[in-house]
A and B are shown apart, each in its own frame.
Chain A
Amino acid sequence: MKTTKKVLSLALVLVLAIFPIFAAGTQEAAKTGVTLKLEQFSGSDATLSGKALKGMIAEFEKQNPTIKVELQTIGYDDYFTQLQSKVVGGNAADVFELNYENFVAYASEGALLDITSLLGDTSGFNETAFNAFNYQGIQYGVPNSFSNVVLFYNKALFDKAGIAYPTDSWTWKDIEVASEKIMKLGDNIWGFYRPFSFHEFYKGAAQNGGSLMSSDRKAFTVNKAENIEAASHMVGWQNDSKIMPTDADMAGMGDWDLFKSGRLGMIVTGIWAFADFTANCPFEWDITIEPGNVQKATHFFSNSYVVSAISKHPAESAKLAAFLAGSKEATKLRVEASWELPPVTYPEIIESYLSITPPENRKAVFASLDYLVTPPVSIQQAEMTAIIQSHLDMILSGKQSAKTALDACQKELEAKISL
Chain B
Amino acid sequence: MSIQGRRGIRVALPFLLPSLLGAALFAILPIGISLLLSITSWTGMSKVTLTDGFLRFVAEHSVGLDNFAAILSDHEFWRALSHNLYFIVLYLPSILLFSMTCALIINAQRRGAGLYRVVYYLPVLTSWVAGSLIWKWLLSPVYGPINNFLAIFGVEGPLWLQSELWAMPSIVIASIWKDMGFYAMVLLGGLKSINTEYYEAARIDGASPLQMFRRITLPLLSSVLFYVTMLSMINAFQLFPQVMVMTKDGNAGPNGATMVMVERIYKYAFRYGKMGYAASYSWILFVIIMAFTYIQKRGEKRWVSYDV
Contacts and interface: CB of A to CB of B under 8 A. Distances in A.
A389 interface: yes
B162 A248 contact: yes
A84 B273 contact: yes
Nearest to B48: A88
Contacts of A8: 14, 17
B142 A252 contact: yes
B164 A80 contact: no
A386 interface: yes
Given A110-B46, A382-B271, A383-B272, A393 B17 contact: no
Given A248-B141, A248-B162, A105 B251 contact: no
A90 B142 CA distance: 46
A4 B10 contact: yes
A379 B142 CA distance: 40
A252 B139 CA distance: 11
A248 B159 contact: yes
A87 B45 contact: yes
Interface string A103-125: 00110011100000000000000
A380 interface: yes
Contacts of B18: 11, 14-15
B141 A84 contact: no
B267 A111 contact: no
Interface in A219-253: 247-248, 251-252
A311 to B, nearest CB: 14
Interface of A is mostly: helix
Given A109-B46, A389-B251, A251 B143 contact: yes
Interface string B52-66: 000000000000000
Contacts of B271: 80-81, 382-383, 386
Contacts of A14: 18
Contact of B17 (A11, A251, A386): A11
A7 interface: yes
Contacts of B11: 4
Q: How many A residues are at the interface, by size bracket?
A: 20 to 34
Interface string A286-315: 000000000000000000000000000000
A393 B162 CA distance: 12
A15 B273 CA distance: 34
Contact of B47 (A7, A90, A386): A90
Given A11-B14, A252-B143, A84 B270 contact: yes
B21 A386 contact: no
A389 B250 contact: yes
Interface in B137-183: 140-143, 159, 162, 164
B303 interface: no
A399 interface: yes
A345 interface: no
A81 B162 contact: no
A80 B273 CA distance: 11
Interface in A1-60: 3-4, 7-8, 11, 14-15
B15 interface: yes
A394 interface: yes
A63 interface: no
A7 B159 contact: no
B44 interface: yes
A7 B141 CA distance: 61
B43 interface: yes
B190 interface: no
B268 to A, nearest CB: 8
A132 to B, nearest CB: 20
B247 to A, nearest CB: 13
Given A4-B11, A111-B45, A397-B164, A251 B273 contact: no
Given A88-B45, A106-B45, A252-B140, A7 B15 contact: yes
A380 B272 contact: yes
A66 interface: no
B256 interface: yes
B143 A394 contact: no
Interface in A168-213: none
B255 A394 contact: yes
Nearest to B159: A248
A390 interface: yes
B273 A399 contact: no
B270 A393 contact: no
A404 interface: no
A65 to B, nearest CB: 33
Interface string B9-24: 0110111011001000
Interface in A53-99: 80-81, 84-85, 87-88, 90
25 contacts: A4-B10, A4-B14, A8-B14, A11-B17, A11-B18, A11-B21, A81-B271, A84-B273, A85-B270, A87-B45, A88-B47, A88-B48, A106-B45, A109-B43, A111-B45, A247-B162, A251-B142, A382-B273, A383-B271, A383-B273, A386-B271, A390-B255, A393-B255, A394-B255, A397-B255
In order of increasing CB-CB distance, the 9 nearest A-B pairs are A7-B14, A251-B142, A383-B272, A109-B45, A382-B271, A11-B17, A81-B270, A8-B14, A382-B272
Interface of B: 10-11, 13-15, 17-18, 21, 43-48, 140-143, 159, 162, 164, 250-251, 254-256, 267-268, 270-274
Interface of A: 3-4, 7-8, 11, 14-15, 80-81, 84-85, 87-88, 90, 105-106, 109-111, 247-248, 251-252, 379-380, 382-383, 386, 389-390, 393-394, 397, 399
